[in-house]
Chain A
Amino acid sequence: MNALRLAAGLALSLLGTLGFGAAGLRAAPDLLLIPVGDAALRGRAPLAMFAGLLAGLLEDLVSVPGRLLGLHAFTKILLGYLLASVAARTVVVKPAAVGALLAAAVLVESVALVLLLWLLRGEALFPSPLLVLGRAAGTGLVAAALQAALRHPWRERHEARRRMRLG
């Protein structure tokens, strides 16, 4: 069930990423981080890291221009572990908290990417702060929206409306 949910999440986020890419949005939200966060916030570190590996590899594959294969896999595995560690110590269920956590994760990922590239290439390549902030904010909003949607009692509302119509 978890694997299916993860696969579905990854597929959807990949489609979304491709869509944002096709639209030419520069500060597009990191949709591939959301399935990782989803797996991590349910307190399963191995699954979160595995999700991070897959999501990162997919991101490296679809990145234009092509990035190093494993670059985002590294950062997303790390984020998966960190998010799972946070989830193991606190309860993060409110949409705002989830959004803030994933926004922070985007910032951490940016820093990790800079460090990793510096380690590999010997030079630090700093991204535009605005772009990073925009990406973090976008990711947080999407994550918060999805969390809100997932937490919304759709079935109870539907039953209530049906009862009102019948009544």
Chain B
Amino acid sequence: MANSSLTTRRPEILLGILLSACLVALSLQVRRPSGETVGERWLQTIVSPFAGTVAGIRTATGDVAEWSSSRRALLDENRRLRAAADGLEAEILRLRDVERDRDRLLALFGVHRTPPAGTRPARLVAVESAGLFRSALLDQGETDGVVSGGVVVAAEGLLGRVVAVGAGSARVQLLSDRVAAAGVLLVRQGRAAVARGDGKGGATILYVPTIEAVEPGDPVVTTGTDGLYPSDLPVGRISSASRSGSLFWEIQVTLAADPAKSSRVFVLPPVRPSDIPAAGQVRR
């Protein structure tokens, strides 16, 4: 069928071939003012879409390569920035830690604006509570100048005193220890008394007659007359006071310093006998 069509169309095919040949011959002879022949111009016109396509493909390839390259660079930069951000985050955490330590130290200096000579900063590394006995471990010992009898204070107030010293550590008897005691002063009443650890994290004040007006929230500080602690160190606040039928109040004190929360402490040198105020010098 196709062959028959080709045969019947032979004159037209021959016509097309002959006319095309003539056109090609003519186009190669005619030269335009721009210097190119018409054939060249026609060829350019025919080829230009392909050339444009090739140029487009080339440009697209270049774009893809550039995109890939910039993507790689961006990934590298992202990785680098992430590492830098991690470093900065660690630095921020470290600086926050330093700032917290600084605040604690400043607070400690607030407690003792002019700490006595021989005062040493230290860190509580462990808090132990075995039954009624409460103690803590310091990270400094004899080699650091810590001696037995040293007074341990936190930013919030009195913690206890050093009862045993090792080469690089020391044991602190906390004020809440059952056998710990300190001479205290009820500031509002100006009444001296004795505070003893209750073995539960607080303390009990003894020997305050019921004629004194005692109220929860009253501050309690050291008197300095016991020969163990210097005067005016915050001990805590009265949490409850009850009359138990006797002549004295049963007063519970919430201690100002919590060893579980205060890792930074000062170790003050032991109280010298010359520092002990006379009974009449107790502030009222």
Contact = CB atoms under 8 A, between A and B. Distances in A.
B21 to A, nearest CB: 8
Interface residues of A, number: 19
A53 B30 CA distance: 19
B244 to A, nearest CB: 126
A125 to B, nearest CB: 13
B245 interface: no
A68 B14 contact: no
Interface string A38-61: 000000011001000100100000
A146 interface: no
| Interface size range of chain B in the complex | 10 to 19
Contact of B26 (A49, A74, A81, A84): A74
Q: Interface majority SS on A: helix, strand, loop or mixed?
A: helix
B26 A120 contact: yes
Q: Interface majority SS on B: helix, strand, loop or mixed?
A: helix
B22 interface: yes
Interface string B1-42: 000000000110011001101110111011010000010000
B35 to A, nearest CB: 14
Contacts of A73: 18, 22
A122 interface: yes
B11 A70 contact: no
B30 A120 contact: yes
A133 interface: no
Interface of A: 45-46, 49, 53, 56, 68-71, 73-74, 77-78, 81, 84, 116, 120-122
